[in-house]
Amino acid sequence: MIVHSKSREKRWVHRSHNEIIGLYTYQPGEESLTGNIYLGKVDKVQKGLGAAFIDFGQGKNGYLHEKDFPQNVEAYHAGSPPVPISKCVHEGQKIIVQVTKDEIGAKGARLTAVIEMKGEHMVYMPKGHYVAVSKKVDDENRKVLRRLGNEWKRPEEGVVMRTNASGVKEADLHEELIALRSLYERLQKVSLRAKCPSLLSRQDTFYEDLHEHLKKGGGGKIVFDEYESMLQVEEMCGEETKEKWRFELYQGRENIFKQYGIFSIWETAMKKVVWLENGAFLVIETTEAMTVVDVNSGKFTGKDNLEGTILQTNKLAAKEMAKQLTIRNLSGMILIDFIDMKKEIHRNEVIESLSEALLSDRQRTTIVGFTKLGILELTRKRTRQPLAASLTIPCSVCHGTGRVMSPETMAFKLERELWECERLDASQIQVEATQEVVDVFAGKQGIHLDRLQNALNKKITLTKITHDHPYYHITKII
């Protein structure tokens, strides 16, 4: 792991066997709100949506669904019918909420009223109403941890035992639960005196994410370019995590990413086309609604029969797509248009390849399956903005479409505007336009220009200018 924290924008890269498997960027003012806890006010209750919109002081209201209230968590685990939103909150009510997903595009942040306090070995929920244990814990330890959670928690509380809780001393686990409980009680006291809306608890996403990856990672080397950051991360880590990782401080003059040959990796990660090692390629298009991926055989023709070539390319594309999901932080609905496969067994092999490649992904991804059109559907849990959304803004020329008006379209538009000048008491019209628009508008040897001048009985003067896209402007009518 290579960490750059010297500048205001902090970045780090996760690399395994000389292959990039994760890119992370944290810009000042653009930090993720996920995990932050706020005192908010209910701005509007929408019975039809079964949700409330909460003013939590971040400009755009957050979205709080009725299933994310403690009452409905309790009802779910008791097998009772859900409590409608109108009985959970009312407009103007103050409420403590936590961000579970950052706002994306026009959608506000997703909130929950079931607060989670994360510890080293467990997640404490003051009003969670249930006990759960990580699926990665073996059966014997799972029974022990579940028993301890049920013994220690109060009736309204919830506890989720993490994977690394297995084998930890009971006294240490109990002490951690008490500390998390005390932390929430202090937060509640602060909320009684705080203005509404206001921030009650902030997650330092940069350090929290680093710490989380170190805890769950298999170990290796982590290199920092700033001593204070290295020290802070070391202090966050327990002895078990420190044993797995070797901490190093980079003191060279060159940028740390240049030193490791990955300086331009962010630009590469946002390109539409991703080449595969066999000459095939992916085309990745992200919209607000979904991400669409097209698999193309490209230069790869293969040595076997056509079916074998297609299967080999699709399996390779599946593995690369799993990597791109992580690198680009793609989420929500994802559709992959693989090269058409006629045999069901081949489709299953592609799904298997994708599933295996996704095992190292920390976000939950659900593979839905192939549609009747042969497109693979999957969804990936959304928490933070995609890489492109956090580093780029819509183009001022094309307004985010990726396309601009052609010279022909602009030339014909100019012609329509000039026809509107037919009855004006004027003898000359002056126009500025780019070379390509002038060429289309005037035609070969100015044939179209002459025709229009005769029809309008006006002199049209064209002045060529430079612009970043096909453009014209009528400057004077005299």
Tens of pLDDT, residues 89-144: 999 999 999 999 988 777 889 999 999 998 888 999 999 999 999 988 888 899 99
% residues pLDDT > 90 (the chain): 65
% residues pLDDT > 70 (the chain): 98
Q: Which two tokens stand for residue 451?
A: 């025709």
* Long-range residue pairs from 21-29, CB within 8 A, at least 24 positions apart, any chain: 21/323, 21/326, 21/327, 21/360, 22/213, 22/326, 22/327, 23/265, 23/266, 23/269, 23/327, 23/387, 24/209, 25/266, 25/387, 25/390, 25/391, 26/205, 26/206, 27/390
- The dihedral through the CA atoms of 353, 359, 363, 364 has a sign that is positive
**Amino acid identity, residue 307?**
E
Q: Each residue of 396-449: pLDDT tens digit? A: 888 877 889 999 999 999 999 999 999 899 999 999 999 999 999 999 999 999
Task: Say what the pLDDT of residue 218 is.
Answer: 84
Q: 3-state secondary structure string, 281-300? A: EEEEEECCCEEEEEEECCCC
Task: Say what the pLDDT of residue 426 is.
Answer: 92
Q: What is the mean pLDDT of residues 355-369?
A: 89
Task: Say what the pLDDT of residue 304 is.
Answer: 60
Per the CB < 8 A criterion, the answer to whether 382 and 330 are in contact is no
CATH number of the domain located at residue range(s) 2-31+204-259 in this protein: 3.30.420
More confident residue, 136 or 85: 85
38-42, 216-220, 348-352: segment of lowest average pLDDT: 216-220
Task: Say what the pLDDT of residue 414 is.
Answer: 95
The domain locations on the chain are 2-31+204-259, 37-201, 270-391, 407-477
Q: How confident is the model at residue 17 (pLDDT cuts 50, 70, 90)?
A: confident
Q: How confident is the model at residue 185 (pLDDT cuts 50, 70, 90)?
A: very high
The phi and psi torsions of 161 (rounded to 5 degrees) equal -85, 125
Task: Say what the pLDDT of residue 431 is.
Answer: 97
More confident residue, 390 or 43: 43
Q: What is the mean pLDDT of residues 65-81?
A: 91
Fold of 37-201: OB fold (Dihydrolipoamide Acetyltransferase, E2P) (2.40.50)
359-368, 383-392, 408-417, 438-447: segment of lowest average pLDDT: 383-392
Task: Say what the pLDDT of residue 65 is.
Answer: 96
Task: Say what the pLDDT of residue 300 is.
Answer: 63
Task: Say what the pLDDT of residue 81 is.
Answer: 92
What's the burial of 456, exposed, middle or buried (CB within 10 Å: 0-12/13-18/19+)?
Answer: middle
pTM over 0.85: no
Per-residue CA distances from 310 to 89, 295, 376 (Å): 55, 10, 15
Residue 301 pLDDT greater than 70, yes or no: no
Residue 351 pLDDT greater than 90, yes or no: yes
Per the CB < 8 A criterion, the answer to whether 114 and 71 are in contact is no
Per the CB < 8 A criterion, the answer to whether 308 and 265 are in contact is no
Task: Kindly state the helix (H) or strand (E) to which residue 379 belongs, with its residue range.
Answer: strand 376-380
What is the Cα–Cα distance from 32 to 390, expressed in whole angstroms? 10
Q: Each residue of 257-278: pLDDT tens digit? A: 999 988 888 888 889 999 998 8
**What is the length of the chain?**
478
Per-residue CA distances from 428 to 100, 135, 431 (Å): 62, 79, 10
Question: Which strand ranges, in their side-by-side order, compose the sheet holding 472-477?
Answer: 459-465, 428-434, 472-477
Per the CB < 8 A criterion, the answer to whether 43 and 36 are in contact is no
Q: Each residue of 163-178: pLDDT tens digit? A: 888 888 999 999 999 9
Q: What is the mean pLDDT of residues 372-394?
A: 85
Among 44, 56, 51, 91, residue whose Cα is nearest residue 67 = 51
Per the CB < 8 A criterion, the answer to whether 219 and 245 are in contact is yes
Residue 28 pLDDT greater than 80, yes or no: no
- The dihedral through the CA atoms of 54, 58, 63, 66 has a sign that is negative
144-158, 241-255, 387-401, 441-455: segment of lowest average pLDDT: 387-401
Residue with tokens 């183009």: 395
Task: Say what the pLDDT of residue 302 is.
Answer: 59
Residue 299 pLDDT greater than 80, yes or no: no
How many other β-carbons are positioned within 10 Å of the β-carbon of residue 394? 10
Per the CB < 8 A criterion, the answer to whether 62 and 53 are in contact is yes
